[in-house]
Amino acid sequence: MHGKFVFLLHPLDMGHVYREKPWAKWLPKSIVQFYMVKKKPFIASHITGIKSKTGDTAEGWFIIIPMTPDLMLKYEDVATQRIIEAGHIGEELGATIMGLGAFTAIVGGAGLKAAEALDGIGVTTGNSYTAYTAHEALLMGAREIGLNPEDPALTLAVVGGTGSIGRIVAKLLAPKVNGKIVIVGRNKEKAEKVASELRPITNAEVLSSDDVRGIMRQADMAVTVSSAVDAIIGPDDVKSGAVIVDVSRPRDVAEAVKNRDDVLVIDGGVVKIPGDVKFNFDFGFPPGTAFACMAETMMLALEGWSGDFSLTKELKEEQVLQTGRWAKKHGFELIWMRSFDLPVSEEKIKHMREIISRRVNSYG
Ligand SMILES: NC(=O)c1ccc[n+]([C@@H]2O[C@H](COP(=O)([O-])OP(=O)(O)OC[C@H]3O[C@@H](n4cnc5c(N)ncnc54)[C@H](OP(=O)(O)O)[C@@H]3O)[C@@H](O)[C@H]2O)c1
């Protein structure tokens, strides 16, 4: 089997645009943004060398939608149209599946509008495997620093817990937590609805909140996966000894939090790709690795999947677990923890372990 896919990328902020096109800095921002909204999607690179443990292979193409998150939210209809145009490029290339990266997975009904408009190519947000790896990363981080998620004294926060990824991450983690779980969103009613879905599947006390900073100050473990366009968690908003998996792009956790040596922030969804993959495009990751949403698109291509996959805001748990099984079958795996784009050092882990063990000892 040889699968083909396309994956959509876009600049995360104007800084990205200026790094790619330095001359644009000399123009008024409004003019640059006017052209970004007018510009059609284009192929940025050919991705080769993906080889599954089964022997199946895949190739793909990155396609750029030249709009930043705030432009996509402001001109959502244009962004949706660009996603559909990118789908047509994918069809011409013979791809059977199109993965939606970052905000292309949020606008247009989280891929639904594009899926309705495209017959010749399936669409996925990649959110199922992203959710799967986010839950794996939290358990890995907790284990490495000596936190037991089952400890009844611990609080887990899921920021953006009402969203497509956050809701299902909370569902995967809830049976493993016995202390407190807080679902955090902007809309308290939506957060309470997710909280009520969790109560039957966990021994933990489950609460809902719209106070991101207040809850993060109490959280020992957190997954942050909001669609906020700017960081919403600063260095004074995190608890000493906490492990936080930040899945959001743009990040939810401000860069300044890396100065807190008593907190472990893990970059969510970084996956090793099977084979000798060449992206021919620098998105800032170590060689051979990619975002989990890209990995989901690749595994669907390796499976010869031609329909839509992770599309609705209410992902099914079985679908998410299926991506975990496919990952194992084809050889995709979570890489060693990274924090703000750098590997987490043994010293950091040791320091975190000391903080946790001091705390456990002081509780008696
Ligand atoms: N690392 C990866 O591989 C990867 C893959 C896919 C997606 N992502 C990223 O994951 C994030 C979430 O994606 P999604 O598809 O789950 O989004 P989504 O379905 O739109 O959900 C977004 C969630 O964020 C909450 N939210 C938005 N703005 C907020 C704010 N200012 N403060 C607090 N909560 C806020 C929303 O709350 P309300 O419901 O109350 O509005 C909702 O719970 C995005 O940043 C996306 O780029 C990363």
Alpha carbon nearest to ligand 1 atom 29, residue: 228
Ligand 1 atom index nearest CA of 127: 6
CA gap 341, 267 in Å, rounded: 7
Tokens matching residue 299: 């595994």
CA 317-321-326 angle, to 5 degrees, is: 145
Give pLDDT tens digits along the chain (364 positions): 999 999 999 998 898 888 888 888 898 888 988 899 999 999 999 999 999 999 999 999 999 999 999 999 999 999 999 999 999 999 999 999 999 998 999 888 889 999 999 999 999 999 999 999 999 999 999 999 999 999 999 999 999 999 999 999 999 999 999 999 999 999 999 999 999 999 999 999 999 999 999 999 999 999 999 999 899 999 999 999 999 999 998 899 999 999 999 999 999 989 999 999 999 998 888 999 999 999 999 999 999 998 999 997 789 999 999 999 999 999 999 998 999 999 999 999 999 999 999 876 665 4
Tokens matching residue 241: 């000894």
CA gap 187, 174 in Å, rounded: 21
CA gap 23, 34 in Å, rounded: 16
3-state secondary structure of 343: strand
Tokens matching residue 256: 């300044």
Ligand 1, CB cutoff 6 Å, lining residues: 102-103, 105-106, 110, 126-127, 130, 160, 162-166, 185-187, 190, 212, 225-228, 232, 247-249, 268-269, 291-293, 313
130 alpha carbon – ligand 1 mean position (Å): 12
Residue with tokens 């807190």, as numbered in its chain:
260
pTM exceeding 0.85: yes
Give the chain's domains with CATH numbers: 2-128+270-334 (no CATH), 133-268+338-363 (3.40.50.720)
Q: Is residue 198 left, alpha or beta, with left meaning phi > 0 and alpha meaning psi from -120 to 50?
A: alpha
102 alpha carbon – ligand 1 mean position (Å): 9
283 alpha carbon – ligand 1 mean position (Å): 20
